[in-house]
Amino acid sequence: MVARDRPGDDGSVRQGWAYAMAKLAHSAMGSAPADKGTMTTGWIALLAALAAGCSKGTVRSEQGSAAPTSQTPQKVADERQIRSLQSEWMQAWVEQDRSTIERILAPEYQLIVSSMPDRPVTREQWIGMLPRYTAEGFEYEKMSVRIFGDTAVVSSLLTPKNAKVDRVDRSFTFFITDVWRKRDGRWQVVGRYSSLPEQRTASAQALHRR
């Protein structure tokens, strides 16, 4: 299982950004540097500092989303652990690793699918169907983690690879909401809500207009 990552900023990125911005600034003033060797030290220092400053307000997560630096160290650690558990859970499914799944799923775990919201799949039922419910891999995208004390809500797009239940294909992209609880210092998932993603209709896009 591989979740999509984004590389963090490094010195070379900042330097390249600073050079590009400096060329733009020189051009606006009527002159442009011939190459990096002719760039003034003042321009490089100023723009590199600006580039570095742009990244100070965020902490990049492994999924590419940004978490405010105002988060407490405990919240940052909890989010990192939950993201790891999300992948560990699905990898255990792929590998049919029952013991790992039993450790991650809380006793009250339920799977709710949007086609039958009144018929939850219990922990025992989900674990019991493992031999019949298989996959060769999976991918998470656009994962978001929100933590409220000892509860966490995780939303994502999940795509199983070559997934089958009773030999019927289930290799779709699902919109997933997972609810986690922390007990005795350990996070466990208590519920998963699964549906097909909403299309990008005009009304859906209108919700995000500012």
Task: Evaluate whether residue 172 is within a structural domain.
Answer: yes
The 8-class DSSP code of residue 43 comes to: H
- Ranges of beta strands (E only) in the chain are 58-60, 66-68, 105-113, 121-122, 133-134, 137-148, 151-161, 164-165, 168-169, 174-183, 186-195
What's the pLDDT at 33?
Answer: 43
**Separation of alpha carbons 30 and 168, rounded Å:** 66
Residues 102 and 178 in one domain: yes
Residues 90 and 185 in one domain: yes
What's the pLDDT at 70?
Answer: 65
Q: pLDDT digits over 174-197, tens only?
A: 999 999 999 999 999 999 999 999
C-alpha torsion angle, residues 159, 164, 169, 172 (rounded to 10): -10
Residue 32: give the domain boundaries. Answer: 11-56
Residues 20 and 50 in one domain: yes
**Separation of alpha carbons 181 and 188, rounded Å:** 6
Task: Evaluate whether residue 205 is within a structural domain.
Answer: no
Q: Which of 169, 134, 171, 139 is nearest to 156 (CA)?
A: 139
Residues 101 and 19 in one domain: no
Residues 182 and 81 in one domain: yes
Residues 48 and 70 in one domain: no
Task: Evaluate whether residue 161 is within a structural domain.
Answer: yes
Residues 103 and 153 in one domain: yes
3-state secondary structure of 41: helix
What's the pLDDT at 208?
Answer: 84
Residues 109 and 188 in one domain: yes
Give the chain's domain count: 2
**If you search the block for the tokens 């809380």, which residue do you land on?**
106
In which residue ranges of the chain is pLDDT below 70? 1-70
Residues 86 and 126 in one domain: yes
Task: Evaluate whether residue 210 is within a structural domain.
Answer: no
Task: Evaluate whether residue 207 is within a structural domain.
Answer: no
Contact 22, 38 (CB under 8 A): no
What's the pLDDT at 84?
Answer: 98
